[in-house]
Structure formats: structure tokens, C-alpha cells
Amino acid sequence: MSESIEIIKAFTFDAAHYLPYHEGKCQHLHGHTYKLEIGVLGRVRPDTGMVLDFSDFKGIVDENIVQPMDHRLLNDIQNHDFPASNPTAENMVVWIRNRLREVLKDKSVTISFVRLWETPTSYALWRAY
């Protein structure tokens, strides 16, 4: 099969943050239950019939993205160039994309989108066009 297929995995985590450059309520410490959706695009491997094993995909994202943020104060994270000084959903999406590009580079897939839901009605989205 020569066409590209997109696979998508969803994750949730809880974290707190404050936005020091915001002039509204969010400048104060508060928390969210985030929902993270990530899509990758690749060719179906003939030996496995998969683009990327969902279990492997989950493990990569959990170890490199979710665990470092889950049940943390995001402003205190000091690893992998995380945008701790201003952890907006937009800045976090860019960080997630950059971090995943680094860890997925040997998996023959391309990140197609990163969607981070901060509330049930609001999200930031990066999409490869």
C-alpha cells in the first residue's frame, strides 16, 4: 500500500499554571484537565499492516509529553525547552510538536496535527498544511 494513512491518539492529563502576561483571571494560579490529540501520517508498513503501533505511539507520547506535565505546575517545568515562563495552550502546542518531531524522527511518520484542549470548549491547534 503506497498511500499515506493518518492515525490519531488522544490523551488526558491534569495540570496547573498561571499566565503572568495575561490581564484577566488566568494570571492567577488555576488548573485544567487537558485533552491532547495527536495525529501522525505515514505509510502502512507491509510487515505489520500498521503506520505505527498504537501501543508504541501511546508510550512515546506518555513518556515524553504527558508524564512531564501531568499533575504539575507547568510554570515550574524546566526541561526540554518547555515554555514555563508563559505556558499558554498555544506555546504548549508548539513545544509538543517540536518535542515529538525530535522523538519520532526514526519512526517514518510525520506529525499531522497537535490539538490541546484547555477546556471542553477551547483548544489550540497546530496543523501541518
Q: How far apart are CA 49 and CA 46, in angstroms?
A: 5
Q: How far apart are CA 71 and CA 57, in angstroms?
A: 21
Of these residues, 26, 32, 37, 90, which one is catalytic?
A: 26
Owner of C-alpha cell 504548549: 92
Q: What one-character DSSP code corresponds to residue 84? A: T
Is 118 considered catalytic here? yes
Of these residues, 22, 30, 63, 71, which one is catalytic?
A: 71
Q: Are 33 and 118 in contact (CB under 8 A)?
A: no
Is 71 considered catalytic here? yes
Across the chain, the runs of DSSP E, i.e. the strands, are 4-17, 30-43, 72-73, 109-119, 122-127
Buried b (16+ CB within 10 A) or exposed e, 43-52: ebeeeeeebb
Name the residues annotated as catalytic: 26, 71, 118
